[in-house]
Structure 1
Amino acid sequence: MAYRYPDMGSPNDSNDDAYVSDFPQPYGANNPDAEYVKKAGVLVDEADEFGVTAITFDKYEELIWMGHAGGLLTSFYGPDMKKYTSFRVHATEAIRDIVTFDEGIYVLSKTQLRHQIRRGIPKFTHTSMHMSDMQCLFQAGRTKLLMGGHQNTLIEFDVAQMYETVVPITEDGCAVLRSGGGSLVACGSANGMVNLRDIRTPAISTHIFRAHTGCLSDLDMQGNMLISSGFTDTDSAQVPEQFVVVWDVRHLNGTGAWTIPVASPPLLLHFLPSVSGKATALSSDGHVTILHVNEPSEADKQSVFQVDTQGSFCSVMDVSSTSQAFVFGDEAGHLHLFSSKHNDKPVFNNFSRETEFATPFRIPRAGFNDPTFRIPSVPCPPLASGTMPFNVLPDEFFRRVFRRPKPIDPELLRMIRMQGPIGYAPNPNNRTHNLYPYIDDNLDDLNKSRVLSVKPPKEYQKIVIVYNKNEPNAELESLNKTGLPGIQATLPNSYCNPMLQILYNMAPLKAILIAHTCTKEFCLTCELGFLFQTLDRSEGAPCDANKFLQAFRTVPEAAALGLILPDHPTEIRDDLVSLIQSWSRFILHHVHFELLDTWHEEKESEALSQGASQPRPKVKNMKRQMNGHSEEHHNHDGQQLQNGSQDSFNINGLVKVLEGLPRLDTRELPNRQVYKKLDSHISQLFGIARQQLNKCFKCNKEEERECVVLACALQYHMPGSGGLLELIRQSLCERRSTHAWCETCGRFTPTTQRSRVIRLPPILSVNCGVSAEEKAFWGSGPAKETANMRPCRYGIQCTRPGCRYKHPERSGNVSQSSSETHELKCMLPYHFHVRLQADGEVYISNEDDQSHGLSKPEHSKQKKAPASEESEYTLTGVVLSVDDQPRHLAAYCRRQGQWYLYNDLGIVEVDEEEVVHYEAWWKSPCVLFYTNTKVLHAKDMTAIS
């Protein structure tokens, strides 16, 4: 490691004339008697400006990592020191220390910690207000790093949780961090003090002692042995000590220290990892001594050799884990690799894994005038699936095609006068002389001659069929061979059929709706329960939702939201995606309030029967809660579900489960006001409890309130949105700036709004958006053709997704080759893990996608932090939009571990791969449903708590 001396003194400032060595002169660079010799040497990049400041051997691969004062990190492979990678970590700051992990490297500079993979791709950069002058880095565990520097704090950083813990220290900074393999770590400060701390509890000092009266230059540990070197404080200046001090950490208070003299004042120390009791001491002039720490009497048997630094200052060194190689770096930008004289191929690790290299691409060499060179001998690069080089294209692409004439002008045909087989007509004078009317290669003429025809697969196309109840229908039987019931789409409001199928296949929700009964005339909850009972008893025969749709048309809120279509629509609605998302939010909210209404009626009847009158809350005030306003909360035990159900779920157990989940009940807020919230089985199944914090930019007034939403709307406008999981995470913890009314300012002011999640739902509903920019997230299909667009040179064989050129020759049904002619652009995660922190932050990871470096987050180890909520979610339902003529909606439903496509009366079994892949040009998701794994796999709901 490289150490920066303070202003109190340095080896160059000391007076060496007072110390005369009793040892012979150091060995020269070409000393034939030296035990260790130089194997390789390189001049690093930018050596004319910056010197080497950090160097280390990789613990997992045959690599050497070097960093210099300009912030550049370079790796060298093997004993020949061939350059492997080189990338800049910081633009201005020097690299202070390097630590290698299995998944990458961690590089410390003055004010930041950078994590990058070995190929150079950055993973994250950590900065903190506590990182002012960092100096050393130490791996304290599998996911723990300990950082020190010329400051009064140590920093313990968890690389998995991205969380730092600040440890205050009393000594003058921490310039060196070393451990002997046990639980103790030695912290050396610039004033010569050494502090021994326990890795598990670094805040507590085990031992503290003064190693040198002046400055400490370096230390190292092996087991219970600690060696140090430094300076002696005199009246005039600090002078370097010409010996190494050995400490036994078990006898620090007794005679547990002795000295070993060396030929040149030691600057850097390092134990040999594979040899017990041996250490290396390096002086600033490049003199290296191999010490026998356990045998101080054998000082005359020391093995010494010299590093030729060309007069520059030798600044860093490291020893490989096998002790077969030493590497030294100097201020002139040179690296020197040494090993034993008899070891021509030293290895850095005993069991190094293979280093990943780029695939070499060698092109045969040939002269320009070589007539014998064969062009086919040049290898072709790998092509995408379904593509081919020009020399193997089909013969139809090389067939001679004549220019096509334009059709005769209809006006000219009207004026023609026939005389025998010859027709005569006046010249319309609409073209120049000798100009033959051929079809030019422009978009207008090509569209007139051939229309682009691209259709989705047959199973996804709009089904137009009239079901006859009196006669058998063979066409209907061919559409559905699964034995599952379909729903007819003969009414205008049948666009909600996909959502009805998804709600029907949700066993907990189905059990609640079937068990519900009330006296209300047009109750959507009752009608949904009756519809689900009809589907259960249909034995695969098609059913209709007329009763439910009649009740749906009577709801004023549905008409106000524009969810009710006219009986005879004049045109096909293009905003089906927006319509089904609004319908999904509406049905959950409406059923929620109907269940609350029924429960209040039952409680009111019980109170009247007992002689006590309780006023019933107004439904209008109840409905404000689901929009984010505080209301009163009444928990109920779901006694209306005791009437039984045809579903396999235990209704009594379901009630216990919903009550066992984290409740949305009474909470005490920081302002000591107790609020209560409305709660029903719908809000317990779908409700996302959040705390919204509003802060005015003008007066800095903060306002907190808790709300419950039944669906998560993806916020595509948020910065830094990556994949779908990151999009869901940012949408759950939404942060935005808007204009809102401020009571203190008395006007609309800029306000920042933050949401913190309090509770995760058993069933997570996600709305995927409707605009063109939001749809573009799910991929890009064939480009929209414009008048100035040129035809694609590849024609029908083009496989580029989103090709911006026109393809007039492409036709036919895409169901046979859709996987070959279009690349899939988006894939939904089938499983993901959600971790809810105590501070309301949400972390989502996809355990199935290891290629992105995602992993299940570990449990928080903070003592004061309460236990966080963790859930596993599985995809169970998707409402998708199919861009056919006309556009329509369909649904994927998971039933008993198998996926089915519901396209009105057409029901087919599909694979999981088809469910999670989407192409925006013909298929895009509208509403997603993810179910908690416990709720999904439990047969008896009483088993979940």
Structure 2
Amino acid sequence: MDYRGMQMPRGFPPPQMQGRMGEGMMNQQRDMMGGNMMNQPPPGAMMNPQMMPEHFNPNQMEGYFPGAAQGLTEYHDLTSVLVDGGDRFGVSALTFDKQDLLWMGNSGGHVTGYYGLEMQKYTSFQVHMTEDIRQMIPIQRGILSLTRSTLNCSLRRGLSLFNYKSPCMQEMQCMIMTSPNTVLMGGHQTKVLQLDIEGMREIRQVDVPEPGCAIFRSSNKYICAGDTSGKVRLYDPATLRAEHVLDAHNGTLSDFDLQGNLLVTCGFSARQNQMTVDRFLMVYDMRVMRAMAPIQIIIDPMFLRFVHIYSNKLMIVSQAGQFQIIDTNSLAPTPLSMQPVNTHGSFITSFDISETCHVLAFGDSGGYLHEFASGEHPVFNTFPQPTEFADPTEQLQFMHINDEMTPYSVIPMCYPENGKMLSDWPDHLAQNVYRKPMPVDNEILRSMKVQHNVGYAKLPQGSGIGVNQIPYNIGNDKKGSKKGKSVPESPIGRGEDPFVVVPKRYQKVDLKYSKLGLEDFDFRHYNKTHFAGLETGIPNAYCNCMLQVLYYIEPLRVALLNHLCKKEFCLSCELGFLFHMLDSQKGQTCQATNFLRAFRTIPEASALGLVLSENEENESRINLLRLIQSWSRFIFHQVHSEAGKKVLVEDCKKVEEAAADEAEDQKADKDDKPSTAESTPPKSKKKKKKKGKKKGKDQADDDKSDGKREDDEEKDKESISPDQSVNLEEERSCTSVF
């Protein structure tokens, strides 16, 4: 068979070595690998399943790995699938992932992931257009794929993260992870590269002897590298310096593996100037670096792996399509027991075993992937990582074509990203027309008063429009109308009748309490939501509407909930407590009693007429619109003065310290020179006090609240010390800046 069109296994001699072997040796090698093998065991010995339990007893291995020994000696064919591109390219690399995924790379540079035992296709993407995939390693970020001259890292979903190339990467063949972020790459060349995959930089380059590296394995102390000359070199992981050399085969090396203190190799030997498969497995003790007794097998070994859940089990795979499990500690000859892989005449080119050793994966040159499993419930990993899947597509509601009741609005509208829909009118045939506002009566404009950029006016009598109402015109059919009967346009249009029908949902509900009061009343009958309400049966309950508005202003609510001071009657503290009650009630009714009690104690609120008695509130002559506007302005000013003072003191801390220093300097000067204030007799102070009172009284005629405030400030001036006066002036300056 001509091997130029087939993917060579890792242990097959590289092209530069094939010319040195001679034509006769290459022809014999092709004949042997093509199926004309000598000393092939009889078919009965290959297919007899009764020979397997005699050599392997699963019950004896339960102490090593409980529950995992069941059925390991009897693998059965689970499934076989044709991989992507299998009609043109063979499978060149296989590896199991920690996310219950099996990754396959073919000789056409394509990578495909399969999920679970059913081999469902997970993702498929192209890594290189011309070069074959020679090895793959799953990492935390994704999957590393090595080709002849590049190293590619892709997400498990298929998106490429980076593609690394270097002039030193000429004939790469193998790689191994030396740390979670560094990878060591080698091949049929004299340069070995260590790469940092996070920073995308080469850490170092190490020279290795000819013919390079074909296989990498690692142990606790060494990094083992096998080459095509039949040798295995043991390198120090820190310095990458060769410590030991094991001359395993005099031909070439096909595969090797190690577990604990044992290193086992398989390969080819040169006999009579011809390359033949060596049916002896070379065994080395890593403690003393010496060869032990070789193990003779009945098949031509090409791949081998330790069954790591046992301490002495080794799996051998031939390229012709058989695999066998042997005991490395047994002194007796290996029994003639093996299992076939139905490759339909193709060669096994890749092999891997899962973490639990329940599943085996074989790839052949015909593009097929074969999966074998053991036990009743085989799994890839004992504790698998969660696998990320694509978001499920939303299923549309089924609608029959003859269904006339289902609206077309249940079908989502798909708007084009570029361009317009077919139902859109062209620009030259369409124009934007806005609805004209209703004209305002001239009488309203004439009597309107503007305050804070908002105009207020009283509706004139006979305008036909009530508060928050507009007429709803219903066109009467002239043909169907009868003479002498007319339907008014609205209740307001009935002559002088001022009665307006209020809908039931907006009418005031009269609450009738029992002897227990609020505790016995079922508020959930009227409020079935989680939004809390305020009790209206207490004095000054007209504030409830604005309290609800302030509660839904999130920045204000957060600021008041975090406010706390030592003032006895603080509206900001009471508002914060009330908002906390509204948050925690979840639909129950709250009372603003504490807030209203503090509100009644403020003199400015009483002076502005915001505090109503029970008799005044029941009268209908109170202008609630103007009252609630005055209440809003007062509350905003009061909250600003209470909640903002603490912030101002903190922000002006440095200014106060500077003012205190200046006050101390002034006090020192006053000690040296008596001030004019000390020479003034007490009688003059009383006159100043009376002048201040008289002046405040004259100003109170224009604005009562402002005059009272200035009078209080004048009193405070006389009662504070000079250094406190300086601090007060500084605080006022900070307040004006804020």
Write the distance in 2 (CA, Å) between the matches of 1:174 and 1:26.
40
- Given candidates 353, 357, 360, the residue that maps to 2:385 is 353
Amino acid at match of 2:87: D
Amino acid at match of 1:540: C
Instruction: Work out whether residues 484 and 540 of structure 1, in 8 Å CA contact, stay in contact via their aligned partners in 2.
Output: no
- Asked if residue 136 in structure 1 is aligned to residue 167 in structure 2, the reply is no
Which SS does the other structure have where 1:191 is aligned? coil
Structure 1 partner of 2:299: 264
Change (3 A) 1:67 1:32: farther
- Given candidates 344, 352, 355, the residue that maps to 1:318 is 352
- Asked if residue 21 in structure 1 is aligned to residue 39 in structure 2, the reply is yes
Write the distance in 2 (CA, Å) between the matches of 1:92 and 1:161.
27
Change (3 A) 1:264 1:485: closer
Post-superposition shift, 1:47?
Answer: 0.9
Change (3 A) 1:357 1:304: same
Amino acid at match of 2:104: M
Post-superposition shift, 1:257?
Answer: 2.5
- Given candidates 532, 541, 554, the residue that maps to 2:735 is 541
Write the distance in 1 (CA, Å) between the matches of 2:644 and 2:414.
40
Structure 2 partner of 1:177: 216
Amino acid at match of 2:314: A
Structure 1 partner of 2:449: none
- Given candidates 195, 209, 230, the residue that maps to 1:192 is 230
- Asked if residue 244 in structure 1 is aligned to residue 281 in structure 2, the reply is yes
Instruction: Work out whether residues 65 and 74 of structure 1, in 8 Å CA contact, stay in contact via their aligned partners in 2.
Output: yes
Post-superposition shift, 1:443?
Answer: 10
Structure 2 partner of 1:308: 342
Structure 2 residue runs of 5 or longer lacking an equivalent are: 1-7, 53-73, 416-424, 438-552, 556-632, 659-726
- Asked if residue 90 in structure 1 is aligned to residue 128 in structure 2, the reply is yes
- Given candidates 400, 407, 432, the residue that maps to 1:446 is 432
**Mean Cα displacement is larger for which, 158-167 or 109-118?**
158-167
Post-superposition shift, 1:83?
Answer: 1.0
Residues 595-651 of structure 1: CA deviation (Å, up to 9, x unaligned): xxxxxxxxxxxxxxxxxxxxxxxxxxxxxxxxxxxxxxxxxxxxxxxxxxxxxxxxx
Post-superposition shift, 1:141?
Answer: 2.0
Residues 700-728 of structure 1: CA deviation (Å, up to 9, x unaligned): xxxxxxxxxxxxxxxxxxxxxxxxxxxxx
- Asked if residue 65 in structure 1 is aligned to residue 83 in structure 2, the reply is no
Percent identity for Structure 1 against Structure 2: 32
Instruction: Work out whether residues 187 and 212 of structure 2, in 8 Å CA contact, stay in contact via their aligned partners in 1.
Output: yes
Normalising by structure 1, we get a TM-score of 0.40
Structure 2 partner of 1:225: 262
Instruction: Work out whether residues 100 and 116 of structure 2, in 8 Å CA contact, stay in contact via their aligned partners in 1.
Output: yes
Structure 2 partner of 1:645: none
Write the distance in 1 (CA, Å) between the matches of 2:339 and 2:119.
21
Instruction: Work out whether residues 48 and 337 of structure 2, in 8 Å CA contact, stay in contact via their aligned partners in 1.
Output: no
- Given candidates 314, 319, 342, the residue that maps to 1:279 is 314
Residues 429-470 of structure 1: CA deviation (Å, up to 9, x unaligned): xxxxxxxxxx9976995388799xxxxx999xxxxxxxxxxx
Instruction: Work out whether residues 171 and 193 of structure 1, in 8 Å CA contact, stay in contact via their aligned partners in 2.
Output: no
Structure 1 residue runs of 5 or longer lacking an equivalent are: 385-438, 452-456, 460-472, 487-503, 512-532, 544-906, 908-945
Residues 892-923 of structure 1: CA deviation (Å, up to 9, x unaligned): xxxxxxxxxxxxxxx7xxxxxxxxxxxxxxxx
Instruction: Work out whether residues 485 and 540 of structure 1, in 8 Å CA contact, stay in contact via their aligned partners in 2.
Output: no
When the two chains are superposed, the root-mean-square deviation of aligned CA atoms in Å is 4.5
Which SS does the other structure have where 2:735 is aligned? coil
Write the distance in 1 (CA, Å) between the matches of 2:336 and 2:235.
32
Change (3 A) 1:334 1:26: farther
Which SS does the other structure have where 1:67 is aligned? strand
Instruction: Work out whether residues 271 and 278 of structure 1, in 8 Å CA contact, stay in contact via their aligned partners in 2.
Output: yes
Post-superposition shift, 1:93?
Answer: 1.5
Write the distance in 1 (CA, Å) between the matches of 2:406 and 2:86.
44
Which SS does the other structure have where 1:300 is aligned? coil
Residues 53-83 of structure 1: CA deviation (Å, up to 9, x unaligned): 000111x211110000111111111111111
Greater gyration radius: 2
Structure 2 partner of 1:330: 364
Write the distance in 2 (CA, Å) between the matches of 1:352 and 1:382.
41
Change (3 A) 1:27 1:287: farther
- Asked if residue 106 in structure 1 is aligned to residue 139 in structure 2, the reply is no
Write the distance in 1 (CA, Å) between the matches of 2:733 and 2:287.
81
Write the distance in 1 (CA, Å) between the matches of 2:181 and 2:435.
66
Write the distance in 2 (CA, Å) between the matches of 1:221 and 1:378.
66
Write the distance in 2 (CA, Å) between the matches of 1:382 and 1:115.
39
Post-superposition shift, 1:358?
Answer: 2.5
Post-superposition shift, 1:319?
Answer: 0.6
Amino acid at match of 2:380: F
Residues 828-878 of structure 1: CA deviation (Å, up to 9, x unaligned): xxxxxxxxxxxxxxxxxxxxxxxxxxxxxxxxxxxxxxxxxxxxxxxxxxx
Structure 1 partner of 2:618: none
Amino acid at match of 2:392: P
Post-superposition shift, 1:148?
Answer: 1.2
Aligned residue-pair number: 425
Post-superposition shift, 1:267?
Answer: 0.8
Write the distance in 2 (CA, Å) between the matches of 1:145 and 1:373.
65
Amino acid at match of 2:39: S
Write the distance in 2 (CA, Å) between the matches of 1:280 and 1:330.
18
Amino acid at match of 2:13: Y
Post-superposition shift, 1:194?
Answer: 0.8
Change (3 A) 1:67 1:26: farther
Instruction: Work out whether residues 89 and 114 of structure 1, in 8 Å CA contact, stay in contact via their aligned partners in 2.
Output: yes
Post-superposition shift, 1:29?
Answer: 7.9
Which SS does the other structure have where 1:140 is aligned? strand
Write the distance in 1 (CA, Å) between the matches of 2:380 and 2:96.
7
Write the distance in 1 (CA, Å) between the matches of 2:300 and 2:409.
61
Change (3 A) 1:336 1:30: farther
Amino acid at match of 1:541: T
- Given candidates 207, 212, 230, the residue that maps to 2:244 is 207
Change (3 A) 1:216 1:354: same
Instruction: Work out whether residues 399 and 406 of structure 2, in 8 Å CA contact, stay in contact via their aligned partners in 1.
Output: no
Write the distance in 1 (CA, Å) between the matches of 2:410 and 2:732.
62
Amino acid at match of 1:5: P
Write the distance in 1 (CA, Å) between the matches of 2:343 and 2:187.
28
Write the distance in 2 (CA, Å) between the matches of 1:364 and 1:29.
54
- Asked if residue 44 in structure 1 is aligned to residue 87 in structure 2, the reply is no
Q: Larger % of helix: which?
A: 2
Write the distance in 1 (CA, Å) between the matches of 2:172 and 2:733.
72
Structure 1 partner of 2:623: none
Structure 2 partner of 1:216: 253
Structure 2 partner of 1:55: 94
Post-superposition shift, 1:36?
Answer: 1.8
Write the distance in 2 (CA, Å) between the matches of 1:379 and 1:444.
28
Write the distance in 2 (CA, Å) between the matches of 1:367 and 1:382.
15
Change (3 A) 1:280 1:377: farther
1:471-620 equivalences under 5 Å are: 482=644, 540-543=734-737
Normalising by structure 2, we get a TM-score of 0.51
Amino acid at match of 2:217: R
Change (3 A) 1:328 1:233: same
Instruction: Work out whether residues 98 and 107 of structure 1, in 8 Å CA contact, stay in contact via their aligned partners in 2.
Output: yes
Instruction: Work out whether residues 85 and 119 of structure 1, in 8 Å CA contact, stay in contact via their aligned partners in 2.
Output: yes
Instruction: Work out whether residues 291 and 299 of structure 1, in 8 Å CA contact, stay in contact via their aligned partners in 2.
Output: no
